[in-house]
Amino acid sequence: MPFMPEQSPFICCDTQRCRVFAFQTALEDNKISLFGDSKTVIGTVHLHNDEQLQEFPKSNADWAAGKEVELVAICRVRRHSKLLGEEVSFQPLLESWDAYVVLWVEWSDGVAYRLASGEVDKEAWEGMALEDVALVLV
């Protein structure tokens, strides 16, 4: 039988975290918009249900009403989408962008509990005041 390392209910890694402000999106969905220091949208997080959504102010609320959330990066991705061009060609036009997949977490006794996941624009994430963190997820 092959060697099997001892299993743990935790996932661990070294990553970075930051705090941002969040508001409900203008759309009727379970997403929140994430705002950086410059008060511009840097990404979104998809919530699990309406109950979570009600914790956040509407998008037209005063800036001071924004709810602060802590995000941790779990990976970097490159997204591609096809563009509609005027010319028909055999090569589809692609638009691509880089982002970080993030988790909205809350901590208890040194363990991070995931509340939701989303994406933040790569340049916006790297421009934030990031803090190194040893992430332990349940």
pLDDT at site 100: 98
pLDDT at site 74: 95
Task: Give the amino acid at 24.
Answer: Q
Q: Which residues contact 110 (CB under 8 A, 6 or more apart)?
A: 136
Residues of the chain with pLDDT under 70: 1, 4, 83-93
Phi and psi at 122, nearest 5°, equal -60, -50
Give 64's Cβ-side CA count (13 Å radius): 0
